[in-house]
Amino acid sequence: MEQTWRWFGPDDPVKLHEIRQAGATGIVSALHHIRYGEVWSIEEIEARQRIIGADPSLGLRWSVVESLPVAEAIKLGEGDLTQLFDNYRQSLRNLASCGITNICYNFMAMLDWTRTELRRVLPGGATALRYNAEEVAAFDCYILQRPDAEADHRPDVLERARAWMKKASESDKHNLLATIMAGLPGAYERYDVPGMRTMLKRFDGITRDDLRANYKRFLEEVVPTAEELGIRLGVHPDDPPFDVFGLPRIVSTAADIDFIVGAVPSKANGITFCTGAFGAGPANDVPAMAERFAPHIQFAHLRNVLKEPDGSFMEADHLGGDVDVVKVIRTLLAEQARRKGAGEDDWRIPFRPDHGHELLNDGERGTHPGYPMVGRLKGLAELRGVMMAVSAIDHQSR
């Protein structure tokens, strides 16, 4: 499997030579400075490629786009979307003309991944990302004051949410909003509380079925073009894989993936398999999902979570937590071997170590939340070791 690393561009505190030292050769990047819905020009794409390939001795290439964003108007099905669909297709054409054919995107309404703590301290001083159900409820019900929000939260969670509000300072409330927004590391726009209320009003009345219909329309508009270009589109699952702030989630379960790959059947219409995002769903059997949908996996994010009964979860070590990552890796390696045996040109499945703990001097570097240098290096080394061991064992057993 191709070892890749998410890099946020020239301003990323993690440098390209450090990524090579970690063992990755594929760069996962995006043009975050371009407004959602606008065309990614060939000039902009080539400029990023030149930066990535500036030192040929590193052997780096722009392997995966993460993400080519979907404009909110498309998710809403709002107004005349002709230009937005044209722009998305043109961006696909431009990427393909530059040799980039693996595209990750998501269809999460309004927000990307959502957490309430960015630095939960662990034994020894490392820090982790965490989702606390009571803090989400406190924000939803008593800061955002979304109508009827209390009905979406468990009574015990609401009780703890009220207790949190009683002791929270204005600074605590501001920091909670900033933490929720941190899941949009490349977003063009972020929201304050009034802005979130305004945006939520646009989604008011949009049901799960409505969002699914809008997503199906998006697939119908862009997948044929992707197929013509030899592009593989991989949708990232919702994170967390359940409704947040009343926003429906539609890429969260095995049933959701069945709907997606069946909506527009094509090799170009696949998934980015994120073990952490799927792993936060209590009903998701992640290894079984990997095996079931292996032919549709275009890209893999490998990380782990520890779940709690109230819906809270914390990001664990890459090989710790609730998800049997070793079993998932064995499935991915078997699928890659199948593709190679079938003579497919793009048989390699790129993967990256997803969110890592901040370790050692990571906290001093100013990296994006969830994307430390040392923590991800450790995760990549562990994952690489598992892959080598599984490959050796499977080879000996044949």
- Based on the fold, state whether residues 104 and 71 are members of the same structural domain: yes
Specify whether the CB–CB gap between 327 and 287 falls below 8 A. Answer: yes
Count of structural domains, the chain: 2
- Based on the fold, state whether residues 250 and 352 are members of the same structural domain: yes
Confidence check: pLDDT of 397 > 80: no
- Based on the fold, state whether residues 277 and 186 are members of the same structural domain: no
β-bridge pairing 102-106 and 61-66: parallel
- Based on the fold, state whether residues 59 and 133 are members of the same structural domain: no
- Based on the fold, state whether residues 128 and 265 are members of the same structural domain: no
Residue 184: the pLDDT is 66
- Based on the fold, state whether residues 278 and 217 are members of the same structural domain: yes
C-alpha to C-alpha distance for 329 and 21, rounded to whole angstroms = 23
- Based on the fold, state whether residues 147 and 172 are members of the same structural domain: yes
pLDDT band at 253 (very low <50, low <70, confident <90, very high): very high
Specify whether the CB–CB gap between 236 and 274 falls below 8 A. Answer: yes
C-alpha to C-alpha distance for 345 and 330, rounded to whole angstroms = 21
Which of the residue ranges 102-106, 341-345, 367-371, 389-393 has the most confident prediction, judged by mean pLDDT?
102-106
Q: What is the mean pLDDT of residues 295-320?
A: 97
Confidence check: pLDDT of 229 > 70: yes
Please identify every residue annotated as catalytic: 236, 274, 301, 354-355, 371
Asked whether the whole model's pTM tops 0.85, one would answer yes
Residue whose structure tokens are 């404009």: 71
- Based on the fold, state whether residues 235 and 351 are members of the same structural domain: yes
Residue 187: the pLDDT is 52
Six-digit token string for 91: 């961006």
Amino acid, single-letter form, for residue 127: T
C-alpha to C-alpha distance for 354 and 361, rounded to whole angstroms = 19
Confidence check: pLDDT of 242 > 90: yes
- Based on the fold, state whether residues 355 and 266 are members of the same structural domain: yes
- Based on the fold, state whether residues 268 and 353 are members of the same structural domain: yes
The fraction of the chain above a pLDDT of 90, given in percent, is 92
Residue 92, domain extent:
4-113+206-397
Instruction: Mark which of 199, 230, 264 sits at the end of a domain.
Output: 199
- Based on the fold, state whether residues 181 and 43 are members of the same structural domain: no
pLDDT tens figures, 158-212: 999 999 999 999 999 999 999 998 876 555 567 889 999 999 999 998 999 999 9
Residue 190: the pLDDT is 72
Nearest to 161 by CA among 140, 187, 183: 140
C-alpha to C-alpha distance for 186 and 141, rounded to whole angstroms = 27
Amino acid, single-letter form, for residue 331: T
Instruction: Mark which of 199, 219, 253 sits at the end of a domain.
Output: 199
Confidence check: pLDDT of 394 > 80: no
β-bridge pairing 232-236 and 269-274: parallel
Provide the angle, in degrees to the nearest 10, between the axes of the packed helices 254-263 and 208-229: 50
Confidence check: pLDDT of 373 > 70: yes
Six-digit token string for 140: 């939803």
Confidence check: pLDDT of 248 > 70: yes
Instruction: Mark which of 145, 172, 199 sits at the end of a domain.
Output: 199
56 Cβ contact partners less than 8 Å away, ≥ 6 residues apart: none
Element (H, E) at 175: helix 170-181
- Based on the fold, state whether residues 55 and 98 are members of the same structural domain: yes
Averaged pLDDT score across all residues of the chain: 95
The CATH number covering residue 74 comes to 3.20.20.150
φ and ψ at residue 166, rounded to 5 degrees: -65, -35
Nearest to 249 by CA among 17, 75, 115: 75
Torsion 336-355-76-252 (CA) sign: positive
Q: Which of 93-102, 126-135, 174-183, 333-342 has the lowest mean pLDDT?
A: 174-183
3-class state of residue 188 by DSSP: coil
Specify whether the CB–CB gap between 89 and 315 falls below 8 A. Answer: no
Residue 189: the pLDDT is 65
pLDDT tens figures, 313-347: 999 999 999 999 999 999 999 999 999 999 998 89
CA angle 309, 173, 13 (to 5 degrees): 85
The fraction of the chain above a pLDDT of 70, given in percent, is 98
Residue 27: the pLDDT is 98
Torsion 215-217-220-222 (CA) sign: negative
Residue 188: the pLDDT is 54
376 Cβ contact partners less than 8 Å away, ≥ 6 residues apart: 5, 22, 353, 356
Q: What is the mean pLDDT of residues 153-162?
A: 97
Q: What is the mean pLDDT of residues 259-272?
A: 97
